[in-house]
Each structure stands twice: as C-alpha cells, then as structure tokens.
Amino acid sequence: MSADTPSYIRGLATRARAASLAIAALDAGRRAALLEAMAESVAAGRAGILEANARDMQRAREAGTTGAMLDRLALDDARLDGIVQAIGEIAALPDPVGQVTRSETHPNGMTVEKVRIPLGLIAMIYEARPNVTADAAALCLRAGNAVLLRGGSEARESNIAIARCLHSALARFGLPAEAVALVEDTAREHVLELLQLTDLVDLAIPRGGERLIRFVAENARVPVIKHYKGVCHLYVDAAADPLLATRLAVDGKLSRPGVCNALETLLVHADIAPDWLPGALQVLVERGAEIRGCERTRALFPQAKAATDDDYDAEYLAPILAVRVVDSLDAAVAHIQRHTSDHTEVICTRDDAAAAGFVAAVRSSAVMVNASSRFNDGGQLGLGAEIGISTTRLHAYGPMGLESLTIERWVVRGNGQVRHPESGQAA
C-alpha cells in the first residue's frame, strides 16, 4: 500500500461520506420510495438471506455457540417478514429533514429559521442480530444520512446478503451502494480505526452488550451516543395503590426479563412494606422470580436470598429482582442516584407531591408515574421506530427516533443586512 492509498476503512468511509450527500439531496417522497424499494428488495432476496444465515448458524454451532447468542443470530421466515415490515414502517414515517423548528422575523427584516438537516455519516457497531443491519440502514437513510455498518463476525454472511439487497434498491435509484457501507472485513483493528475518523464519521452508535459499548466508548475519537445497560428501579411509595404496585412489579420484572427496560430493583417505603411486600413478592416468586433482599426485606419475606451491594448495580436480564426497604422518598432517590444507569425509573404512588418530587429529583432518560418501566421504548412512546435507547445525556436521551438522527441548523434570509453601518455605505 503506497502512502497515498487510503486504508480499507478510510476508503470505505470516504465513499460513504460522499454518498451521504446524495441521500441528503433526495426529496422526502423519493427517500420514502427508496425505503419501500429496500423493503421489496429484502423480501425478494429472502432465499439467499436465509441460506447465508444457515451458513452463519452452522459455523456458530461448530464454534460451540448456544442459547441466547444463537437465537439472536437466527433468521427464519417470520423474522424476515418482521425485517421487511419494519423497513416499510420506517418508509411511512414523516420525513424529519427540512422540518422548521423555529422561525422569526427580526426587526431588521431578516428571517431566522432553525431547520433540520441530516447528521451525515453514522457508524453503527453491533453484535449478532442481523436485523440491525436492515433496521439501522433504514432509519439512517430515512433521516437523510449514510450509514457505516459493522456487525458481529458471527453474522457476517447474513449481513452481506442483507446489504446486497439494500444495494440493489440503491442501484435502482441511481444511488451509490456505499450509502449503506458494510464493513465486510470484521477484523477488530478496522473498528478501532473507524472510531478515529473524526473527519468522516459524524456519530458512532454502539448497540450490544456492556463489553462492546465500553470498547467503543473508551476507544472513540468520533462522537458516541451510548446505548448502555438498564438498571431500572420501581419505588413503591408509602401512598401507593397496593394492587397497582404489584402489577407494575410483575410487568416490569417478568413480562420480558431479557430487555433493557425490565425492572432490576424494587425499593419499598417502610410504611407500606409490612402490608404489601410479602404478598407482592409471593406473586413474583409464583411467577418464576428469584428475590434478593436487604435485611428488612428478608425479615418480612424469609425466602428471599441476601442481596449484596453488587446486586443493586446488576442488570440481571433474567427473572431476578433485588429488593430494598427504604425509610423515605429521599432515601429511594439517593439509592437511585447511586445505582442508576440513567435508563428508566418508576414511582408508584397516589400522592401527587411524592410523584412531583420523584420526577424532579430523578434524571434518568424516562421517569414513569404509575406506569410500567417497559414503556421506555420508541414504539411505545410514539416515535414509530427507534435506533436504540440512549443513556447519554447529550443530543438524545432515551429512545432515539428519526429526529435524533438529524441536527437543527440556522438559515437566515435577508436583503443585504450587515452588522456594521459603515459596511452599508460601501456600495
């Protein structure tokens, strides 16, 4: 390689960035039509995608992969239908590009607007799920960006097959394939290099396990929005409706324990604990939960295991619940401030002042009053689709929809306005 030849990753990112200008230049209708063509193209390529996925699965099994990891990798007809449908739904969302979010006419006659434009080139770094390849490409392109995709090596053939379908849709619109640039060579040093390309990559979004996100956060020079773990809390206040509190605990912990908006810790006010806690924990245990409690919890519910401090920092992703009895709302807030991952916190109370105090004191991406933690999700909150749930308190916090993949910039229109009066006398 001569000194003038860019590296594999820099070459790919340079072409992707150039392609981002072509995507940004499409009008809203044409961008929607492109997404629809991408959905059709994936549907038409079903057989090839499933064959490629079968080869990935075979290799993964030979490497000893089992369980949840293998399940995340697997595609079948139903999952492919889901991918096609998701792209179609993203195609139908309102176009965020060009939205005017502020508009004023100044005394000097200038009009001043803030208008949404795409971010540019977004790098997604993710793990085994091949559906992220299609999802992330659809969301980024819908918001006028190009995308650089680096999926897990275990899903390499599936990702290549999906990307080829997306490229054929781009080709039908006369657009460069590199608008969806797949890093086919999954060597780790290429990820490291792409995280340094501050002149080309506008944003990196890591999605996956804690280790991946740490790796990206610790090695990136480009801006990163983390989609980190969810250590979500339910605080059952002294003034909680007991039946409602049990429902929120059961839904939060057990409706889908393996996701980031599932509950991990239950905090219970000491005044309500004797009446409510034993029965509620009994319901949870009968439905398959394991309880790890503080001393006061165990005094009320002896079958609970003893919780350690580590339990209060754990994202179990499993039907395990840490429980602690607290003496006040302030003590609950202090516990949350110490252990939160800034994802989702819930208060169950009939006391409006307690609810207001909790909402004001907690700074997580979503705070729920008498509603399940499981609602912290782009679809549930009305965004239509999400590229992930940000736990970074910058740019976007919580579920990231299409708007989060754009930025507002200023557009000023005048008829010769200048700052310095003498400049006006120049001509």
With CB under 8 A as the contact rule, the residue among 106, 185, 199, 288 that binds a copy of itself is 106
Environment class of 201 (CB within 10 Å of its CB; exposed 0-12, middle 13-18, buried 19+): buried
CA distance 151 to 178: 16
- What type of residue sits at position 284? L
**Least distance (Å) from a copy of itself to the CB of residue 166?**
24
Stretch that binds a copy of itself, among 39-47, 159-167, 183-191, 251-259 (CB under 8 A): 251-259
**Least distance (Å) from a copy of itself to the CB of residue 117?**
6
Joined together, the tokens standing for residue 127 give 């793990």
CA torsion, ordered 112, 116, 121, 125, to nearest 10 deg: 130
Residue ranges in 180-219 that form contacts with a copy of itself under rule CB under 8 A: 198, 202-203, 217-218
- Please tell me the count of residues contacting a copy of itself according to CB under 8 A: 80
Stretch that binds a copy of itself, among 128-136, 155-163, 227-235, 367-375 (CB under 8 A): 367-375
**How far is CA 275 from each of CA 74, 264, 268, rounded to the nearest angstrom?**
46, 22, 11
- What type of residue sits at position 280? A
Residue 308 as a binder of a copy of itself (CB under 8 A): the answer is no
Residue 360 as a binder of a copy of itself (CB under 8 A): the answer is yes
Residue 244 as a binder of a copy of itself (CB under 8 A): the answer is yes
The total number of residues shown for the chain amounts to 427
With CB under 8 A as the contact rule, the residue among 99, 153, 255, 328 that binds a copy of itself is 255
Residue ranges in 387-416 that form contacts with a copy of itself under rule CB under 8 A: 392-395, 397-399, 407-416
**How far is CA 348 from each of CA 237, 244, 289, rounded to the nearest angstrom?**
6, 8, 20
With CB under 8 A as the contact rule, the residue among 60, 119, 268, 332 that binds a copy of itself is 119
Stretch that binds a copy of itself, among 2-10, 150-158, 183-191, 254-262 (CB under 8 A): 254-262
**How far is CA 101 from each of CA 104, 112, 402, rounded to the nearest angstrom?**
10, 11, 15
Joined together, the tokens standing for residue 178 give 């590199």
**Least distance (Å) from a copy of itself to the CB of residue 257?**
11
CA distance 288 to 267: 20
Residue 30 as a binder of a copy of itself (CB under 8 A): the answer is no
**Least distance (Å) from a copy of itself to the CB of residue 422?**
8
Residue 376 as a binder of a copy of itself (CB under 8 A): the answer is yes
Residue ranges in 318-347 that form contacts with a copy of itself under rule CB under 8 A: 337
Joined together, the tokens standing for residue 55 give 């080869």
